[in-house]
Amino acid sequence: MSKLLVKSGHEVIVLDNLSTGFRKNVKYGELVVGDLADIGLLENVFSTYQFDAVMHFAANSLVGESIKEPAKYYRNNVANTINLLDVMINHSVKYFIFSSTAATFGNPKYSPIDEHHPQHPINPYGMSKLMVENILKDYASAYDLSSVSLRYFNACGADPEGELGEMHDPETHLIPLVLQVASGRKKEITVFGSDYPTDDGTCIRDYIHVVDLCQAHLLAIEYLIKNKSGAYSFNLGSGHGFSVQEVLDASSLIVKRYNASIFVQYGDKRPGDPDRLVADSILARKILGWKPQYECLETIIEHAWRWELELVKRKKQ
């Protein structure tokens, strides 16, 4: 996101506590190391710099962990977001873009999922994000704070120029895990469930390229500037899903060109995993003018594979 903003002519300040991020990856914009729990630091940052808008990506985001440690998720994802919003209001910063999630919907009642779908989260992570969405509605009414909540489905891919990509520890996303097997960093990938009511028995998810996600954030800022204050929400996805098996098949074809292969084992379903999660993103396309550039699954995987090869190269140096 910082790269896109800088390339688009904006000045960027990155606030990160580096709990899951990496200092060396802040290649664009100025890094301030700090935590949203530190209100004094936030006040100092907002006094030092003059901001037009804030994009809020910082959150804990592991579903399983949220069930075991809900306090951590409500403290960081909700309470710390309130800290940020309050300091923004104190300094008259009126535009806010929030990273929300498809997890706010819970088990889907229908698919694809549009913005009118009921929101009934089934874990503290999803609940924490929904809480913030609701807080933003109240802040819009009370404090004239304009916001857009962008509900991601499955973010994936990497910088097409190979400069940036996923570096989670531990990694939990399907595509990078599959490619770590191909590169030799992992022995095998486990597919959880092969008897879903889908064509090939594996569950279906909506994969959206990270660059297309970033583009939606840029359009969201432009939308807020042009429209009356309010709290708006948009689902971000490709509008069509791919099964786990389709991801495996596409990945195998790509890594085969590099004489690599992917070892797969099949396990039981995980509790609470829906068979299908696909976004209806018509509203974002219509209202924001969003046009995803990288909807092809093979292109997404190709970009992620280049990044994986770059990570392997770095580890050898």
* Catalytic residue ranges: 125
CB 196 within 8 A of CB 202: yes
Judge if the upstream peptide bond of residue 112 is cis by omega within 30 degrees of 0: yes
Across the strands, what pairs with 192?
267
The one-letter amino acid code at 29 reads G
Looking at the chain, list the stretches that DSSP marks H as alpha helix, in order from N- to C-terminal side: 2-7, 39-48, 63-68, 70-73, 80-90, 124-143, 174-183, 210-226, 244-256, 282-283, 297-316
Q: Are 140 and 317 in contact (CB under 8 A)?
A: no
Cα–Cα dist 40/104, whole Å: 31
Sequence-distant (6+) residues with CB within 8 A of 135 are: 78, 81, 82, 85
Contact of 109 with 117, CB cutoff 8 Å: yes
CA distances (Å), origin 4, targets 27, 109, 170, 177, 276: 11, 36, 26, 26, 31
The helix or strand, by DSSP H or E, that contains position 151, with its residue range, turns out to be strand 146-152
Alpha-carbon distance of 165 to 22, in angstroms, equals 12
